[in-house]
Amino acid sequence: MKAIVLAAGYATRLYPLTKNQPKPLLEVAGKTILDHIVEKLDKVESIDEVIIVTNEKFTTHFQDWANGASYTKKLTVLNDGTTTNDNRLGAIGDIQFVSETLQLDDDVMILAGDNLFDFELTDFAQYFEEKETDCITSYHEENEAQLKRAAVVELDENQEVLSFVEKPDNPQSNYCVPAFYLYKKETLPLIKDYLEAGNNPDAPGHFVPYLIQHKPVHAYLFEGKRYDIGTLESYEQAKLEFSKK
């Protein structure tokens, strides 16, 4: 299994903090967001390589981080060649870029490089092995305003995904979906098909409604907090929460 960390964005909403520093390398509770993520990836035995896909502007930053890191997994930094927020490939475009460039023939765990979370990725990987299908993650959310800002899924009694809607006006369930995915290697060609059909290449969740039309997908339900660092306010909140731990 390969892990892909999506880190090719420009985080313009966090300016000036991220004008010359990539968001995943911002510090939270004494270490970078990326270190918090890779520490959890490092525990997953089936993963043999962590691939950080970034852009031309921040490749050196991530390579310097990788050179100074000491994890058991191979660390690969991949430059997608984009230079600005206007010509970025988008998250799904970046997944396809990694797949083509490295000629991946492995199951892949995909994570956003700006999410902090309490649950263990070892549990997610075990669920994936048990289900033997593509898997997403989900958690129960009571706050309707948050549901309207997120992706929401409907699930059957076996946690198979029945529907998936990004930022719904009328959420059909209380199950939110953050950006953590596990795809079987046989699914990777569908990403290329999705993009060639002219579908949205940006947020990684946009691929899921397309995927469930072709294959069964299950949702791993996790407990604990998850922090999506998209604004200065959410970054300060994450720092506050993690400083308590």
In the beta sheet, which residues pair with residue 100? none
Residues 100 and 108: their CA atoms lie apart, in Å, by: 13
Q: Give residue for tokens 């994570």.
A: 111
Q: pLDDT class for 217, splitting at 50, 70, 90?
A: very high
Which SS3 state, helix, strand or coil, does residue 188 take? helix
- Over the stretch 146-196, which tens digit does the pLDDT of each residue have? 788 788 999 999 999 999 988 888 888 989 888 899 999 999 999 999 999
Burial of 221 from C-beta contacts in 10 A (0-12 / 13-18 / 19+): middle
Residues 101 and 78: their CA atoms lie apart, in Å, by: 9
Q: Give residue for tokens 């004494």.
A: 30
Per-residue pLDDT at 130: 96
Q: What secondary structure letter does DSSP report for 27?
A: E
- Over the stretch 33-57, which tens digit does the pLDDT of each residue have? 999 999 999 999 999 999 999 999 9
Per-residue pLDDT at 75: 97
Q: What is the largest CA-CA distance in the chain?
A: 47
Q: Give residue for tokens 């946690």.
A: 159
Tell whether omega for the bond before 16 is within 30 degrees of 0, i.e. cis.
Answer: yes
Task: State the pTM of this model.
Answer: 0.93
How many CA within 13 A on the CB side of residue 120?
Answer: 8
Per-residue pLDDT at 178: 86
Q: Where are the beta strands (DSSP E) in 86-206?
A: 108-112, 115-117, 134-140, 151-155, 161-166, 175-177, 180-183
Residues 153 and 165: their CA atoms lie apart, in Å, by: 7
Domains detected in the chain: 2-243 (3.90.550.10)
Beta strand pairing call for 151-155 and 175-177: antiparallel
Using the CB atoms, write b or e for 93-103: b if 16+ within 10 Å.
bbbbbbbeebe
Which SS3 state, helix, strand or coil, does residue 51 take? strand
Q: pLDDT class for 145, splitting at 50, 70, 90?
A: confident
Q: pLDDT class for 243, splitting at 50, 70, 90?
A: confident
Which SS3 state, helix, strand or coil, does residue 7 take? coil
